Amino acid sequence: MPTSRKPPKESAQSTEAPSTATTTVSSSKSRTKRKKFSKHDDLVLLRQVNADQPFASVRGSLMDAWTSLANKVKVVQGFSKQEITGKSAQARFNLREDYTESQQLLDEIVLAVDEHAREEAQRALELKEKLESEDNVGKLMREEAVSRLKKRKDRGEESESEKPSPRKVTIYDLMREDNEKERQMRAEQFQQKQELQRKQKEMELQDRKEEREFKLRLARLENERYENLLKLALLKARGGTALDGIVGEVGDVGEDAGVGVSDGVLGLEGGA
């Protein structure tokens, strides 16, 4: 007697499984799909890097500079990589894409980076030389102070039997003495400068005073000269008899003012 076989129960489940798997794969692909940098995006990024030079930022603010750069390129028209961050911008900058304009911008940026590195090295060298110079100056001062201290000590040992020193002279005492002498010297120089300025001011005032007095004296003589010339003109018009006496007076005044009597008389006659 033949036995009947039951149909498998998993057939319905097997027909539904592929559709579910296909949906899951497509959704995961859509989630994981990321947009790549386009050529235009790279150019925009490189132009902004060349303008901002975030690599030259001081320590502690490097990532802030890259974040600021990323925010700037987001608003550039045609820039499609809107999810860019400071970290991704820095990472993209480190990729050397082989484009004509990109290579040019990269060359400019590399030159700027090298220039910044040279400037930093130069500043470090100058700082080192300055510190070494200060150390040398301090060393010379210490050696000079020790030498002077040794000389004083030798002189003190020679005269120790006559008058013992109350206490030992230290390097700090010598440095303090040098500072005091320097202060005194500066004070004397300041006083000399003040005295020189005071004398110069007095001389200027005296010159101005003498100039004013000379101008007043000259004006007074000129006024007297014109008054006497006017008197001569009046006497000549009246036919006066005392013309000779007044001419003598005018001659005295004219000599003081630097004008001759004949000049005055001739001038009057010409005017008449």
| pTM for the structure as a whole | 0.30
Residue 184's pLDDT is 87
Task: Give the model's pLDDT for residue 259.
Answer: 45
The domain of 41 spans 35-124
Provide the percentage of residues in the chain whose pLDDT is more than 70: 67
Q: Which two tokens stand for residue 54?
A: 């975030």
131 within domain boundaries: no
**pLDDT at res. 28:** 46
pLDDT given for residue 240 in this prediction: 54
- Whether 72 maps to a domain, the answer reads yes
Place of tokens 């004949």: 262
18-68 per-position pLDDT tens digit: 444 444 444 444 444 567 888 888 899 899 999 988 888 887 888 899 999
40 inside domain: yes
**Structure confidence by residue, pLDDT tens digits, 252-263:** 544 554 544 444
**Rounded Cα–Cα distance for residues 163 and 161 (Å):** 6
Residue 158 lies in a domain: no
* 181 within a domain of the structure (yes/no): no
Q: Tell me the pLDDT band of 164, cut-offs 50, 70 and 90.
A: low
In a domain, 167, yes or no: no
In this structure, are residues 249 and 264 in contact, taking their beta carbons and an 8 Å threshold?
no
Dist. CA 5–CA 26, nearest whole Å: 39
Alpha helices in the chain (DSSP H): 10-32, 39-52, 62-74, 86-93, 100-158, 171-238, 243-257, 261-271
pLDDT above 50 (res 97): no
Whole-number Å distance between alpha carbons of 24 and 30: 10
Q: Work out the average pLDDT over 148-170.
A: 66
Lowest mean pLDDT among 13-27, 159-173, 177-191: 13-27
- Kindly indicate the confidence band of residue 180, based on its pLDDT and cuts at 50, 70 and 90: confident
Q: Flag whether pLDDT at 70 surpasses 90.
A: yes
d(Cα 272, Cα 150) in Å, to the nearest integer?
A: 100
Tally of structural domains, the chain:
1
Q: Which two tokens stand for residue 71?
A: 């925010």
Please give the C-alpha separations between residue 103 and each of 25, 71, 268, in angstroms, as whole numbers.
39, 23, 97
42 neighbors 91 (Cβ within 8 angstroms): no
Cα dist. 21→8, 14, 15, 17, 137 in Å? 22, 11, 11, 6, 82
Q: Which of the two residues, 172 and 65, has the higher pLDDT score?
A: 65
pLDDT tens, 193-249? 899 999 988 999 999 899 989 999 999 999 999 999 999 999 988 875 455 555 555
Greater confidence (48 vs 250) lies with 48
Q: Average model confidence (pLDDT) for the chain? A: 74
Per-residue pLDDT at 56: 85
Tell me what pLDDT residue 71 has.
Answer: 94
Q: Is 86 domain-assigned?
A: yes
Distance of alpha carbon 15 from alpha carbon 37, whole angstroms: 41
Residue 49 lies in a domain: yes
Q: How far is CA 162 from CA 71, 150, 152, 169, 229, in A?
A: 86, 19, 15, 18, 94
